[in-house]
């Protein structure tokens, strides 16, 4: 074996990295156990508040190799929401509202018609909404000019009356994209402040959507309101240190008295000096056109004076001592606190007796961005802002026309903002009344900047300068633009999984994985003797690598991901079977064991590579077009293909050679294995017509059944809402449906038993087109009203999901595109590798046959009352079968190509049967192994994966069938070979010489 040292080195490095990253998961688990032990009382009950206090106390403390618990949690192998419970949400920024706002809420009838038409077109299109709007406007008013609608004060400097329609659409495109970016940043900040452990938020490229995953959420209503709330940008006057420090002194004295009387219990907080790790910002507000050096110098002086006064107040508080001195600390610009103490301080300020100490128009807000102190502590500044008579801010974000990051005359980053005429007047009055004082820029009750006013700012053009980095200046400009126009987000897809359902999924996933592993291990040892034992060791390495690499990339293990691992267990057998079958063929030729090992691996290498590339291609397309759980499955599948290739081809060879050198012999067969496929004989071409007729009859029957009853599409393909409800006792699904029908207005309501007899799944298309929060609440209220008839059985909603109609259309379209692209990609690859289009055609027709056969059989089963949904997981199964089936087909085609090269004058008709017979043992062994593993998944994997595993079972059977009786005959029928027939190669003898 060449490059043995490299393979050993690479294996050691990868193993060490996997062990290192998986260690974080073990440490996190142990910390959780310690927290539970700390919070458990004598009766064995766990105090959740006490447990969380324990975890909070070590959040920033080193617990493993110098890493804090926070860093440990960030690097552990996480569990997906389907395993640990939580909330999955996809939000969409409404381009309609943005376009309306840019038009100044135009009432032009053609403009409104074009918007309505674009919304109709969006339901069946993957194009950007702005593109559809431009198309619709051309339909409504072919010669109309968009500049007539959009050349207004809000778009001054961007759109003029002379702007072409394309230029207008380009500007709208940019504004929509910016709005999505702003919404993403705002939502990320809200979620960070919400306090969810390990949240995940990401933009879905090309869709204008934002995906959010929130583990452990127990208040979905609060989350919905938080995520769909409008950005609230405000400008507040700030109390000076001299003004608010006396009240702090009074509060400190009052809390000291309370503490002495035993009415206050504040845990001692260790605060490190944060001044070493932070520099004063000294942000200033100035007239945008007057940023000369003298003005900046004056502004810097004012900022320093303000900071000095604030620091003096902080020093005074520290010298006084008492409860507040322990909670607050001196920051570069004023008074602040450790991030972990802010909740405690908020509770103090919320008390009625504490509020009575402060003026009624004083309000406290935290800075949005913490600063770092010593020992990895984080601190955040506290601001006192001045409320107006009505309790509102003197100026809100709707006054801003534009904001952008720029550079001042010294080349320092700054932010330039312009306001509309009404806002400019209010801004002049606000800045004129606060020269030398701070004005806080606040979004969602967090201070993003508090610049010092240099002088009265007239004309509505201002600049904010300070110690900004370019990124910080860009972020602040985006925050200021967040208040410019309404860009509401709406939830277009949602899934909620309760913790009990998640724990059940963990148990089922572990059970199915272990059972699948046991089946593979036992079979490989029984069939291939010591060689099978070595293959099992390689399989253990394979699983270890998959989990370790997932941990390295901070990926989450999901239930479909576990399905991917279980499937990888079965498919990993394929490479070992190919190698061992090749070795057995070489052994029958009387070669030495060293030659058997070398030739077995060398001859199997290209076949394994081709088979893995085609399967990987299907997985890649699944990842690119899939979303949510499908992506998790695709990642695990692709990763499993790569690791199984490495472990089966390289690690197993190292182990095989080492075993041979140590013992001087190697067994990879037995008498049972030798006899099993000894007298296999069949003629594929003889059975092609009956096979064609059989396939055609099944497909016709299936699609007729689908036409009669309709396809059983899941919520993610047709839109709507679904709920999994559990009762104390078994209950007929028909009774639940009867109770819910009236409440759901008889619109597309389906109720079926879901796994256990006391659990049902409710699916309704009522209000599917309405994605508003009010519609969600209305449907949930209807569900609760219907379930109230069974109140004695304590119905509990374990999980729920929602998919908007637009998203459902997108998922359907992407599923079809993914299917077609996988076929095209495989066609091209097979043609490239085998240099004949006939091989590609035979392979792709067989794959299409397999996909349609799964769909047809699902429809037939549905006709007879065995109902499984066709959803994203179903499509994942279809694409996986495409990868598996082409794997088998490529192995046979590879043997056909080998025989054609050895017998250049032979006709393919004479070669096909020997090739099929020689690879038949591999085809059956691999297929049976995968079938058994997927059968375990079907039995033990839980209801969520039952449709997936059933599709896989059907696909495995028909994958073998189509390879033998569809793909191979098509190659023979379409390949015109004018060469004279020559003696065909005979199948390899089955007796070892």
Q: What pLDDT, in 10s, does the model give residues 91-121?
A: 888 788 888 888 888 888 999 999 989 888 8
Three-class DSSP category at 235: strand
Q: How far apart are CA 295 and CA 458, in angstroms?
A: 16
**Closest to 922 measured CA to CA, from 881, 950, 887:** 887
Which tokens sit at 141?
């008013």
CA distance 962 to 477: 60
The token duo for 813 is 């379209």
Tens digits of residue pLDDT in 667-687: 776 667 667 766 777 777 888
pLDDT digits (tens, 9 = 90+) for 929-953: 888 888 888 888 777 778 888 888 9
117-125: long-range contacts, CB 8 A cutoff, minimum separation 24: 122/806, 123/805, 123/806, 123/809, 124/809
Reading the block at residue 767, the tokens are: 């209000």
- d(Cα 358, Cα 349) in Å, to the nearest integer? 10
Q: How far is CA 699 from CA 613, 855, 951, in A?
A: 29, 9, 15
At residue 317, the pLDDT reads 58
Task: Provide the 3-class DSSP secondary structure of residue 453.
Answer: strand
Mean pLDDT within 343-354: 86
pLDDT at 1: 60
Kindly provide the residue ranges of all beta strands, DSSP E only, lying in 727-804, ordered along the sequence: 749-753, 759-764, 796-803
Half-sphere exposure of residue 312, counting CA atoms within 13 Å on the CB side?
12
The first and second tokens of residue 969, run together, are 């005959």
Residues 6+ apart with CB under 8 A from 539: 517, 520, 521, 524, 569, 572, 573, 647
- Could you tell me which residues come within 8 angstroms of residue 306 by beta carbon, excluding any fewer than 6 positions away? 240, 241, 436, 437, 438, 452
| pLDDT tens readout for residues 573-613 | 778 888 888 888 788 787 888 888 888 888 888 878 877 88
pTM value? 0.70
What number is the average pLDDT over the span 822-828? 83
How far is residue 355 CA from its own chain's centroid? 43
Ordered by start, the domain boundaries in the chain are 4-76, 90-227, 231-485, 498-708+809-974, 720-803
Q: How far apart are CA 53 and CA 39, in angstroms?
A: 9
Beta bridge partners of 209: 92, 204
Distance CA 302, CA 437 (A): 8
Closest by CA position to 585, among listed 609, 615, 607: 607
Summarize pLDDT for 236-249 with one digit per residue, the tens. 999 887 888 888 88
Pair 559, 82: CB distance under 8 Å: yes
**Of 100, 423, 436, nearest in space to 234 by CA:** 423
For residue 478 the two structure tokens come to 């985006």
Residue 708 corresponds to which tokens in the numbers above? 């009669």
Instruction: For residue 235, give both structure tokens.
Output: 């400008």
8 Å CB contact between 137 and 145: no
- pLDDT, tens only, 682-724: 777 888 889 999 999 999 999 998 888 877 777 777 778 888 8
Q: What is the pLDDT of residues 116-154, one digit of tens each?
A: 898 888 766 767 888 889 999 999 998 888 888 888 877
Q: How far apart are CA 65 and CA 48, in angstroms?
A: 28
* Confidence at residue 696, expressed as pLDDT on a 0 to 100 scale: 93
Four-residue CA torsion sign, 287, 289, 294, 296: positive
CB 313 within 8 A of CB 334: yes
CB of 759 within 8 A of CB of 753?
yes
Please check whether residue 927 is in contact with residue 523, taking contact to mean a CB–CB distance below 8 angstroms: no
Return the C-alpha torsion angle 883, 888, 894, 900, nearest 10: -130
Dig out the tokens for 480 from the structure. Answer: 């200021």
Please write the tens of the pLDDT for every residue from 528-546.
Answer: 888 888 888 888 888 889 8
**DSSP 3-state assignment of 663?**
helix
Cα separation of 314 and 245, whole Å? Answer: 8
Residues 6+ apart with CB under 8 A from 420: 153, 154, 399, 400, 401, 460
Q: Which residue has the tokens 């502590």?
A: 377
pLDDT at residue 306 in the model: 55
Burial class of residue 62, CB neighbours in 10 A (0-12, 13-18, 19+): middle
Query: Closest Cα to residue 326, out of 264, 276, 384?
Result: 264
Specify whether the CB–CB gap between 216 and 499 falls below 8 A: yes
Contact 858, 850 (CB under 8 A): no
Q: Is 327 within 8 Å of 266 (Cβ atoms)?
A: yes
Tell me the two tokens of residue 36. 């539970």
956: which 2 tokens?
């495995």
Q: Tally the C-alpha atoms within 13 A of residue 600's C-alpha that lie toward its C-beta.
A: 31
Give the single-character DSSP code of 649: I
Q: What is the DSSP letter of 756?
A: S
Q: Which residue has the higher pLDDT, 404 or 719?
A: 404
- Reduced to 3 states (helix: H, G, I; strand: E, B; else coil), residue 527 is helix
pLDDT for the residue 937 = 80
* Residues 631/873, Cβ–Cβ less than 8 Å: no
Instruction: Quickly state the pLDDT bin for 268 (edges 50, 70, 90).
Output: very low
Chain position carrying tokens 């552990």 = 76
Distance between CA atoms of 365 and 445, rounded to whole angstroms?
Answer: 6
List, in order, residues 6 or more apart from 477 with CB less than 8 Å away.
403, 404, 405, 415, 417
Residue with tokens 């000369």: 292
pLDDT surpassing 50 at residue 297 = no
720-803 in CATH: which number? 3.30.70.3400
CA trace torsion 343, 344, 349, 351 (10° rounding)? 110
Dist. CA 872–CA 761, nearest whole Å: 17
Measured CA to CA, the distance from residue 614 to residue 894 in angstroms comes to 13
């Amino acid at each position: 074996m060449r490059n043995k040292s490299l393979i050993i080195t690479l294996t050691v490095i990868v193993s060490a990295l996997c062990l290192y990253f998986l260690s974080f998961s073990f440490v996190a688990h142990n910390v959780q156990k310690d927290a539970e032990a700390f919070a458990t009382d004598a009766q064995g009950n766990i105090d959740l508040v006490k447990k969380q206090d324990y975890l909070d106390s070590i959040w920033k403390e080193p617990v493993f190799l110098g890493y804090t618990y926070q860093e440990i949690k960030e690097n552990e192998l996480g569990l997906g929401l389907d395993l640990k419970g939580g909330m999955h949400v996809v939000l969409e920024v409404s381009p309609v509202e943005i376009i309306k706002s840019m038009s100044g809420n135009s009432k032009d009838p053609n403009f409104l018609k074009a918007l309505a038409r674009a919304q109709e077109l969006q339901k069946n299109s993957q194009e950007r909404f702005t593109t559809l709007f431009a198309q619709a406007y051309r339909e409504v008013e072919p010669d109309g000019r968009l500049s007539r609608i959009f050349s207004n004060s809000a778009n001054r400097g961007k759109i003029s009356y002379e702007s072409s329609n394309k230029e207008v659409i380009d500007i709208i495109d940019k504004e929509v994209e910016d709005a999505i970016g702003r919404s993403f940043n705002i939502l990320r900040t809200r979620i960070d402040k919400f306090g969810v452990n390990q949240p995940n938020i990401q933009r879905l490229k090309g869709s204008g959507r934002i995906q959010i995953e929130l583990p452990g959420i127990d208040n979905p209503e609060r989350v919905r309101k938080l995520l769909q709330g409008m950005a609230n940008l405000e400008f507040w006057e700030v109390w000076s240190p001299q003004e608010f420090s006396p009240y702090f002194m009074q509060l400190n004295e009052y809390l000291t008295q309370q503490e002495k009387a035993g009415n206050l219990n504040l845990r001692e907080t260790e605060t490190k000096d944060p001044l070493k790790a932070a520099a004063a910002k000294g942000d200033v507000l100035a007239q945008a056109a007057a940023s000369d050096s003298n003005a900046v110098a004056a502004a810097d002086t004012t900022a320093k004076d303000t900071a000095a006064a604030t620091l003096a107040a902080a020093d005074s508080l520290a010298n006084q001592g008492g409860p507040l001195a322990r909670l607050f600390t001196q920051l570069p610009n004023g008074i602040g606190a450790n991030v972990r103490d802010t909740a405690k301080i908020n509770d103090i300020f919320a008390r009625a007796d504490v509020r009575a100490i402060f003026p009624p128009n004083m309000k406290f807000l935290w800075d949005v961005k913490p600063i770092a102190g010593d020992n990895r502590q984080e601190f955040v500044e506290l601001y006192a802002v001045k409320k107006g008579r009505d309790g509102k801010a003197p100026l809100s974000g709707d006054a801003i026309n534009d904001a952008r990051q720029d550079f001042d005359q010294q080349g320092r980053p700054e932010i330039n903002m312009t306001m509309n005429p009404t806002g400019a007047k209010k801004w002049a009055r606000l800045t004129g009344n606060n020269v030398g004082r701070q004005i806080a820029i606040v979004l969602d009750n967090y201070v993003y900047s508090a610049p010092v006013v240099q002088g009265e700012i007239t004309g509505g053009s201002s600049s904010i300068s300070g110690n900004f980095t370019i990124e910080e200046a860009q972020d602040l400009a985006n925050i200021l633009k967040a208040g410019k126009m309404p860009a509401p987000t709406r939830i277009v897809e949602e899934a909620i999984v309760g913790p009990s359902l998640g724990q059940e999924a963990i148990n089922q996933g572990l059970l199915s994985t272990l059972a699948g592993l046991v089946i593979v291990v036992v079979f490989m040892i029984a069939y291939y003797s010591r060689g099978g034992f070595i293959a099992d060791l390689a399989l253990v390495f394979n699983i270890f690598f998959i989990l370790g690499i997932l941990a390295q990339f901070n990926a989450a293990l999901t239930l479909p991901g576990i399905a991917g691992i279980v499937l990888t267990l079965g498919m990993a057998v394929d490479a070992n079977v190919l190698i061992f079958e090749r070795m057995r063929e070489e052994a029958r030729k009387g070669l030495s064991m060293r030659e058997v090992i070398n030739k077995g691996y060398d001859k199997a290498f290209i076949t394994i590579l081709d088979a893995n590339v085609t399967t990987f291609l299907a997985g890649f397309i699944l990842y690119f077009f899939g979303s949510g759980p499908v992506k998790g499955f695709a990642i695990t599948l692709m990763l499993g293909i790569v690791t199984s290739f490495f472990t089966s081809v390289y690690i197993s060879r190292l182990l095989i050679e080492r075993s041979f050198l140590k013992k001087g012999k190697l067994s990879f067969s037995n008498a049972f294995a030798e006899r099993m496929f000894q007298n296999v004989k069949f003629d594929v071409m003889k059975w092609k017509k009956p096979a064609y007729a059989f396939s055609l009859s099944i497909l016709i029957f299936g699609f007729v059944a689908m036409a009669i009853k309709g396809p059983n599409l899941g919520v993610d393909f047709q839109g709507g809402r679904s709920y999994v409800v559990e009762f104390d006792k078994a209950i007929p699904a028909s009774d639940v449906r009867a109770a819910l029908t009236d409440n759901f207005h008889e619109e597309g309501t389906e109720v079926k038993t879901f796994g256990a007899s006391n659990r049902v799944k409710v699916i309704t298309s009522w209000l599917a087109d309405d994605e508003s929060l009010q519609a969600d609440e209305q449907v949930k209220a209807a569900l609760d009203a219907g379930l109230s008839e069974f109140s004695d059985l304590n119905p509990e909603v374990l999980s729920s999901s929602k998919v908007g109609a637009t998203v459902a259309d997108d998922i359907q379209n992407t599923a079809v595109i993914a299917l077609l692209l996988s076929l095209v990609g495989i066609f091209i690859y097979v043609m490239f590798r085998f240099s004949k289009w006939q091989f590609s055609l035979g392979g792709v027709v067989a794959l299409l046959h397999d996909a349609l056969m799964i769909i047809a059989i699902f429809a037939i089963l549905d006709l007879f009352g065995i109902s499984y949904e066709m959803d994203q997981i179903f499509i994942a199964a279809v694409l996986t079968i495409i990868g598996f089936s082409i794997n088998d087909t490529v192995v046979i085609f590879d043997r056909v190509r080998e025989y054609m090269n050895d017998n250049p004058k032979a006709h393919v008709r004479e070669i096909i049967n020997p090739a099929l017979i020689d690879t038949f043992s591999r085809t059956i062994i691999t297929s049976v192994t995968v079938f058994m593993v997927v059968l375990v998944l079907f039995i033990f994997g839980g209801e969520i994966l039952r449709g997936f595993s059933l599709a896989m079972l059907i696909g495995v059977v028909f994958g073998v069938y189509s390879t033998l009786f569809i793909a191979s005959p098509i190659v023979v029928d379409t390949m015109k070979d004018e060469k004279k027939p020559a003696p065909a190669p005979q199948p390899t003898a089955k007796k070892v010489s």
